[in-house]
Amino acid sequence: MRRLLVLVLSAMLVTSGVAVAGEQVIGGERASIEANPWVVYLTDDHGVQFCGGTVVAPTKVLTAAHCALGRAPGDLRVVAGREDKLDRDSGMSVALADIWIHKQYVAADEGEDLAVLTLRKPLPYTPLPIAEPADRALYQPGTQLRALGWGRTSENGKTSRYLMQAVLPVLPDTYCAESYPQFVKTDMFCAGYETGKIDTCQGDSGGPIVADGKLVGVTSWGEGCARRGKPGVYVRISRYAKDLHPVVDALPTGVVEP
């Protein structure tokens, strides 16, 4: 009876698309920090990783608004140059001077899910350029993007000790709109597979999805993780380039122009 129940339950898990194998990001593989020096994670005041981010200038980290909202600069830190969360000797943990949240942000599934963190000291890691309006080709359905993060490796599982990556093709806006009634195609895109199985998950939010050496999207939201017909949704960065440039390219306070 007990064995039958286990059998039935595991069959239900398989058919519901919950990632039983419990692989990485979900269904991904390990990635090196050397090849992706601009990917960072955010920790709370207990040192617990809860979101991702991208170095977009020496003192600026782009993340999701929902990762930063309600937090003071002293409540979180940026960890850079560290692939293994337990390897405290690698990379660095940096304090914040300021948090900017997009002024139109209300909720992740309404768009504008963007925040820029200003660091107290510059990072020695190469920044990643953001996608611009001219980069529209990167958002064509089928474009192979790569998402990175230390998020959960199954929908209800633990976050990853190691940096993980997964290749996720851009899906047509029509498909995203059928999946989610609140999908806003000008501000968001969705990526993944109709069958689910490979996806970002909780803890990956705020982190990068990239192609062609550019930041194409910021991991934002979705219904569960790796579920059939419920792809991950990402901030369409090219649409926000004009909002981000003044914040990202601002000289650090205290630096005076010659």
Q: Name the residues that contact ligand 4AZ, by CB under 6 A.
A: 199-202, 204-205, 219, 221-222, 225, 232
- Marked catalytic residue, from 154, 160, 179, 205: 205
Dist CA 148 CA 31 (whole Å): 8
Backbone dihedral region for residue 16 (phi beyond 0: left; psi -120 to 50: alpha; all else: beta): alpha
Residue closer to ligand 4AZ by CB (options 158, 245) is 158
In the sheet where 164-169 sits, what is the strand order?
Answer: 29-30, 164-169, 144-149, 208-211, 214-221, 232-236, 188-191
Closer by beta carbon to ligand 4AZ, 118 or else 154: 154
User: 244-253 long-range contacts, Cβ below 8 Å, gap at least 24?
Assistant: 244/56, 244/62, 244/114, 244/116, 244/130, 247/60, 247/100, 247/116, 248/56, 248/57, 248/60, 248/62, 248/116, 248/130, 249/57, 252/59, 252/118, 252/122, 253/97, 253/118
CB 37 within 8 A of CB 126: yes
Q: Contact, 117 vs 93, CB < 8 A?
A: no
Closest among 81, 64, 105, 70 to 233, alpha carbons compared: 64
User: Taking the complex as a whole, how short is the minimal distance between the CB of residue 4 and ligand 4AZ, in angstroms?
Assistant: 32
Residue 221 vs residues 18, 43, 247: alpha-carbon distances, Å: 17, 19, 24
Minimal distance in Å, beta carbon 37 to ligand 4AZ?
23
Tell me whether residue 113 is one of the annotated catalytic residues.
Answer: yes
Q: Please say which residue, 90 or 156, places its beta carbon nearer to ligand 4AZ.
A: 156
Looking at beta carbons, which residue is closest to ligand 4AZ? Answer: 222
Cβ-based nearer residue to ligand 4AZ, 125 or 180: 180
Catalytic-role residue among 102, 109, 113, 220: 113
CB of 44 to ligand 4AZ, least distance (A): 14
Smallest gap, in angstroms, from Cβ of residue 30 to ligand 4AZ? 19
Instruction: Measure CA 140 to chain center.
Output: 20
Is 10 designated active site?
no
We find the least distance from the C-beta atom of residue 119 to ligand 4AZ, in angstroms, to be: 22
- Could you tell me the smallest distance in angstroms from the CB atom of residue 126 to ligand 4AZ? 26
Reply yes or no on whether 46 is catalytic: no
Per the structure block, which two tokens stand in for 204? 């990956």
Quick one: 160 or 202, whose CB is closer to ligand 4AZ? 202
135 or 204: CB nearest ligand 4AZ: 204
Please identify every residue annotated as catalytic. 66, 113, 205
